[in-house]
Structure 1
């Protein structure tokens, strides 16, 4: 027997949120499925705060650094990446979540969620046209960088554990990888 699961639209999801049906739950909408998010551990929180603080210090007012807030993507998806680097001003997001065209790059901090971040999330972000996606792999202390979307897939994958990197959107910016993967 084949089981068929119900798919939810963004409108359905927002109505459930507004009604309070999903209150007190940590969820995200991925490809029409409501997914329970893993509880955030101490190590994950530490790296997320530190990475966001470091990126804010480098970017200044050139971009918004958003932590663990929803972004709205096609295919009935509203994930909550650990860090989103967004277009300014922040008032763009007063009445809506950021759309793909607002996003310079996304960062996920991965330990227990590594398979999801390197699999489903990588595919989702590439299909949405997010030009750059970084995964900080806490298991190996390395930064995995995805770039160059062709046919809705990232074609370039870099695995780095030292040196500097410049994001595509800010070629003049030098980010010390050891600050992210310490």
Structure 2
């Protein structure tokens, strides 16, 4: 449908077989996405590609476009296909906080994403979701066994680079 021009001028993503039209980004969301991308690129080093709002292929029914995805390899490794997984996914959330906590969290856990962060602009905190587990009470049947909330003075280490520490305050400016 996208190739036929049905969504021209709109940002969309495929979630569980449905085409979801994404809201326009406000200035705080846009600058936060860029801030997180820069912090991750500076701290993670070689061997990963920090991607901004690009598709991750979870199969024929879901191809989300998270605000940030960190994948193994480099840009050149994905010239013929989108990545099918990610080492880390980050959603920057203000107006979509409930959706990111519920639908997206369950989708990412179902896809086996072991490190999912929500940069919560509403409450000025980082929500970290790890260890996907089956939970039939969620949208996609999966949830995270470990949910951690971090605030301004805290630091976080991505699972893919546990020796790296990022300042939460830097991510939430």
- After TM superposition, the score normalised by the length of structure 2 is 0.91
CA drift at 1:139: 0.6
Name the one with the larger helix percent: 1
Taking CA–CA contacts closer than 8 Å with sequence separation of 6 or more, which of the two structures ends up with the larger relative contact order?
Answer: 2
Could you list the per-position Cα deviations for residues 108-138 of structure 1 after superposition, in whole angstroms to 9, with x for gaps in the alignment?
0000010111010000000000111000000
Alignment of 1:20-35 (within 5 A): 20-35=5-20
Q: Which of the numbers 116, 127, 132 marks the counterpart of 1:149? A: 132
Report runs of 4+ in structure 1 exceeding 6 Å deviation: none
Q: Distance in 2 between matches of 1:122 and 1:57?
A: 26
User: Partner of 2:138 in structure 1?
Assistant: none
Larger Rg: 1
Q: Distance in 2 between matches of 1:80 and 1:177?
A: 23
Q: Which of the numbers 102, 107, 120 marks the counterpart of 1:119? A: 102
User: Partner of 2:148 in structure 1?
Assistant: 158
Matched, 1:170 2:161: yes
Task: Tell me the secondary structure at the aligned position of residue 18 of structure 1.
Answer: coil
Question: Does the 8 Å contact 1:74/1:128 carry over to 2?
Answer: no
Matched, 1:137 2:120: yes
Q: Which blocks of at least 5 consecutive residues in structure 2 are unaligned?
A: 135-141
Equivalenced residue count is: 165
Matched, 1:74 2:59: yes
Task: Tell me the secondary structure at the aligned position of residue 84 of structure 1.
Answer: strand
- After TM superposition, the score normalised by the length of structure 1 is 0.87
CA RMSD of aligned residues (A): 1.2
